[in-house]
Amino acid sequence: MIYVNRRALSIKRILYVLMAFSQFMGTMPFFLCQNNFAFLGRTVYIIDKCLHFILLFFVHKLCYNMIGKAYYRVKRFII
């Protein structure tokens, strides 16, 4: 049980770091565009969108796995 909790905490920490990084990347294009690096700003923006998509995919997968496991436990308990 302790091992599972530690693992969950580490996953949560990684997700928070990724979210913070994506937020930081989201603010970057504005600074880059001001310095006439519009192309670089656009590429960073695209990378940021990709990061968001990957992050959402992993979060959804994690949530579905947890919900699925809980559902099967309850189902097995009832039947």
pLDDT higher than threshold 60 for residue 59: yes
> Which DSSP category does 79 fall into?
-
* pTM listed for this prediction: 0.31
Among 30-34, 37-41, 72-76, name the most confident range: 72-76
41-53 pLDDT per residue, tens: 566 677 777 777 7
Q: Is 36 helix (H, G, I), strand (E, B) or coil?
A: coil
- Determine the 3-state secondary structure of 37 from DSSP: coil
Average pLDDT over every residue of 14-34? 60
Report which of residues 67 and 38 the model is more confident about: 67
- Which has the minimum average pLDDT: 17-26, 34-43, 64-73? 34-43
Our measurement of the distance from residue 44's CA atom to the centroid of its chain's CA atoms, rounded to an integer in Å, reads 17
